[in-house]
Amino acid sequence: MKASAFSYARATSVGDAIALLAAHGESAKVLSGGQSLMPAMNLRLLAPELIVDIGALDELRGIARHESFLSIGALTRHVDLQNAPDIAAHAPLLKEAIAHVAHPAIRNRGTIGGSLAHADPASELPACMIALNAAIVVRGPAGERRIPAEEFFVGIYETVLSSDELLVAVEVPFPPSNSAHYFREFARRQGDYAIVGLAAQAVVENQRLIDFRPVFFGLADKPVQVTAAAMLVSKDVTPKVLSDALQALGAELDPPEDQQASGAMRRQYAKVLLARCVAALLSRSDLSTWGTA
C-alpha cells in the first residue's frame, strides 16, 4: 500500500525540529532514514499528520572520538557504523551487530537514531546500546538530557522520549582493554528480524567474567537483561555452574509466542545463546554442548 497523505516539513536546525515537534505533539513523526517509519506508513500502521524530516541536519551526522567515549550522531547510517575504524576499534560489538541489520540497501539509509527511537523489540541496536552501557542523548524545549540506555526502552515501539524531544546522539564508553564481546542471533533468513538474539559485553580476567552484560532481544517487548547472568560473574565457570545458570535463565524468562516460534523454543534458544556466549568469551569449548559458534 501507499502512505496516506501528510504534511511535510524539512527541519533547518535541531531547534527548528524541536519547535515543530512541540507545536504538533503526537500528530507529528520524525523522519530520519525512514527504514522503519516508511514501512509502517505504507502499511497504514501509522498515519502522522506531519512528517518532520531531519535528514538535512548535518550536525547530527558522524562519529566523534572523545577521551573515553564515542559520540555517534543520530543520523549516522548503519553502513557508516559498519565501515568506521573508530567503531571497529572501540565498539566492535556494534560493528558485528550491524551486519545482521536487514540488507545493504536498508543499511545505506537506516540510521542509529531512527532504530533506537523506533525501539523494535526484535532489533539489534537497542540491545547493543544496553550491553555497551551507552547513554542516549535527547534534546527538547527544556534542553538536553542523557538517559542510560537501560532506562530508555519502555515497550514495543515505546521509549522514554516525549513527543517534543529529539534523539540527537548516543555516547558509547570505551570498553576496558581486557574486554570481550559476543553477538549472535537466530533468524530464519539472512537479514530477517531475529527470533532471539544476544548482544554481550564482558571484562575477562584470569579466565573469569569480572563484568558481564548480556542483553537478549526478541524475547520480550524490550531488550532483556537477566539476573541469571550474575551466577557466572567472578567465579570459575564449571559445567555445573553454567548449567545452574542456564536453568535459572529458563526459569526467569517468559518469552512470547508468535508465528516464528513458540515461547518454549525461544527459551531454549536463549539458553543455547548464553551457553555459547560464555564458552566463547572464556574460550572454553568444553563448556557448551551446543558448540561455541
Partner 1 sequence: MTAPLPISLEVNGERVDAHVLPRTNLADFLREHLKLTGTHVGCEHGVCGACTLRVNGDIVRSCLMLAVQANGASVETIEGLSDSGEISDLQAAFRERNALQCGYCTPAMLITAQDLLKSEAEPGREMIREHLSGNYCRCTGYQAIVDAVEATAKARKGRGR
Query: For binding to partner 1 (CB under 8 A), which residues are involved?
Result: 1-10, 31, 34-35, 38-39, 42-43, 50-51, 53, 55, 79, 102-106, 108-109, 189-191
- Min separation Cβ 133 and partner 1, Å: 30
In the bound state with partner 1, the residue whose beta carbon lies nearer, of 35 and 288, is 35
- Min separation Cβ 43 and partner 1, Å: 6
Contacts (Cβ under 8 Å, ≥6 apart) of 192: none
HSE-CB for 110 with a 13 A CA cutoff: 27
Residues written for the chain = 293
Q: How far apart are CA 182 and CA 189, in angstroms?
A: 20
Alpha-carbon dihedral 32, 36, 38, 42, rounded to 10 degrees = -170
In the bound state with partner 1, the residue whose beta carbon lies nearer, of 45 and 236, is 45
Residues β-bridged to residue 63: 72
In the bound state with partner 1, the residue whose beta carbon lies nearer, of 43 and 154, is 43
* C-alpha cell at position 195: 527470533
Number of separate helices (H) and strands (E) present in the chain: 11, 14
Q: How far apart are CA 32 and CA 109, in angstroms?
A: 9
- Min separation Cβ 102 and partner 1, Å: 7
- Min separation Cβ 140 and partner 1, Å: 23
In the bound state with partner 1, the residue whose beta carbon lies nearer, of 114 and 121, is 114
In the bound state with partner 1, the residue whose beta carbon lies nearer, of 76 and 288, is 76
- Min separation Cβ 175 and partner 1, Å: 28
